[in-house]
């Protein structure tokens, strides 16, 4: 079965074709980062307009690259939430219209389920059950995964997500949007002995929830202190970037290890934009090896929003006989735990 996947939840237009027999055939991603960078964040109206402009041409491109026609498609999967309403509407309308015109099934995919399953696109794959750390600009969640659709939320951010904290910290020291990659690059030249210390939030108490707002405030306080002392220079920026990145990474690693031990599992997947952070990947591999656990993650282009993860997630549910009515509503907010198990009838 050849499934066309459409991802339009935020500021990337991702289109892909997944074949349930041959695997991923092709994928394309168009990013709107340059358009939104001057505003320091995503402008929903601009995002929606760009999805309308780019989705159909990208569909034609992936079909041509895969040497397929629309008539060769067996199903369409599209992101139906969570995300920006206008952006979701663009992909959902195109996806449902294509499915209707071709007489094939359509399925609205949960954006975070797509991220959660993205590591399944790699040769090195985890076996269920496992723990998933979903970490991006909008989400920081720890989830127990027993099967596709059988999810138990173990912990989540009570305020800013990790990616959002990176973005806001980067803006405070004059770095472009999105901030995570710029903080990581700057941190490479930071001095770990510079004396900048940040807390590891909520790691000194039981539980698996996260909170990054206090860490963000501590970062701002340190920036103001450096400005007051006339010590805000290039080296200070590198040092504070390193200290901030280390604090977030350490916090995530501590909670991941705690979740694995609590649930008695030995496999962790990390997914979402922040999962591409090299320090996070390295620290998880090192620390989890101490308890006999392994970590899995997707290649960089599948860490951020992409059509391949939507095509794959949709294909798994379509194979199980699930599909969506053509009048399915998109959902800006959509708890992952509300999804049906892949073996349930819907």
Beta-strand ranges (E) seen in 191-282 are: 267-271
Peptide bond into 178 cis (omega under 30): yes
The annotation status of 135 as a binding-site residue, yes or no, is: yes
Residues in the chain: 346
The annotation status of 136 as a binding-site residue, yes or no, is: yes
The annotation status of 138 as a binding-site residue, yes or no, is: yes
Following CA atoms 103, 108, 111, 114 in sequence, which dihedral angle do they give, to the nearest 10 degrees? -60
Residues 6+ apart with CB under 8 A from 114: 7, 79, 309, 310, 312, 313
The annotation status of 275 as a binding-site residue, yes or no, is: no
Rounded to whole angstroms, the Cα distance separating 57 from 112 reads 25
Rounded to whole angstroms, the Cα distance separating 258 from 252 reads 10
Rounded to whole angstroms, the Cα distance separating 299 from 335 reads 26
What does the block give as tokens for 44? Answer: 């929903």
The annotation status of 102 as a binding-site residue, yes or no, is: no
The annotation status of 111 as a binding-site residue, yes or no, is: yes
Half-sphere exposure of 101 (CA within 13 A, CB side): 8
Pairing mode of beta strands 12-19, 2-7? antiparallel
Cα-flanking dihedrals φ and ψ of residue 12, to 5°? -125, 135
The annotation status of 305 as a binding-site residue, yes or no, is: yes
The annotation status of 110 as a binding-site residue, yes or no, is: no
What does the block give as tokens for 159? Answer: 């305020």
Cα dist. 10→90, 102, 194, 315, 327 in Å? 11, 27, 37, 22, 21
Pairing mode of beta strands 267-271, 130-135? parallel
CA-based nearest residue to 157, from 196, 111, 215: 215
Our measurement of the distance from residue 180's CA atom to the centroid of its chain's CA atoms, rounded to an integer in Å, reads: 13
The annotation status of 180 as a binding-site residue, yes or no, is: yes
Residues of each annotated binding site: 111, 115, 134-138, 167, 180, 277, 305
Residues placed in the known binding site for Fe cation: 111, 115, 305
Binding residues for substrate: 134-138, 167, 180, 277
């Amino acid at each position: 079965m050849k499934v066309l996947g459409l991802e339009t939840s935020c500021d990337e237009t991702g289109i892909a074709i997944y074949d349930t027999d041959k695997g991923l055939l092709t994928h394309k991603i168009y990013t709107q980062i340059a358009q939104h960078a001057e505003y320091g964040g995503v402008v929903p109206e601009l995002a929606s307009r760009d999805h309308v402009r780019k989705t159909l041409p990208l569909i034609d491109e992936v079909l041509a690259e895969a040497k397929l026609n629309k008539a060769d498609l067996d199903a369409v999967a599209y992101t139906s939430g969570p995300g920006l309403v206008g952006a979701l509407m663009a992909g959902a309308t195109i996806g449902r219209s294509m499915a209707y015109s071709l007489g094939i099934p359509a399925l609205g995919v949960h954006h975070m389920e797509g991220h959660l399953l993205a590591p399944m696109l790699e040769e090195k794959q985890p076996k269920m059950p496992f723990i998933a750390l979903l970490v991006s600009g909008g989400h920081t969640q720890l989830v127990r995964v027993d099967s596709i659709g059988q999810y138990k939320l173990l912990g989540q951010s009570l305020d800013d997500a990790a990616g959002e904290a990176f973005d806001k910290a980067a803006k405070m020291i004059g770095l472009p949007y999105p901030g995570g990659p710029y903080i990581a690059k700057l941190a490479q030249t930071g001095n770990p002995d510079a004396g900048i210390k940040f807390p590891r939030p909520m790691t000194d108490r039981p539980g698996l929830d996260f909170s990054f707002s206090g860490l963000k405030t501590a970062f701002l306080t340190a920036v103001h202190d450096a400005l007051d002392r006339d010590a805000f220079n290039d080296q200070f920026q590198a040092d504070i970037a390193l200290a901030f990145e280390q604090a977030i990474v350490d916090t995530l690693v501590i909670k991941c290890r705690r979740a694995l031990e609590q649930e008695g599992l030995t496999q962790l997947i990390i997914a979402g934009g922040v999962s591409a952070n090299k320090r996070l990947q390295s620290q998880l591999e090192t620390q989890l090896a101490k308890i006999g656990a392994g970590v899995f993650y997707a290649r960089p282009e599948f860490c951020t929003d992409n059509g391949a993860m939507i095509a794959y997630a949709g294909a798994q549910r379509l194979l199980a006989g699930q599909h969506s009515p053509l009048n399915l509503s998109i959902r800006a907010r959509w708890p992952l735990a509300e999804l049906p198990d892949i073996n349930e009838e819907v």
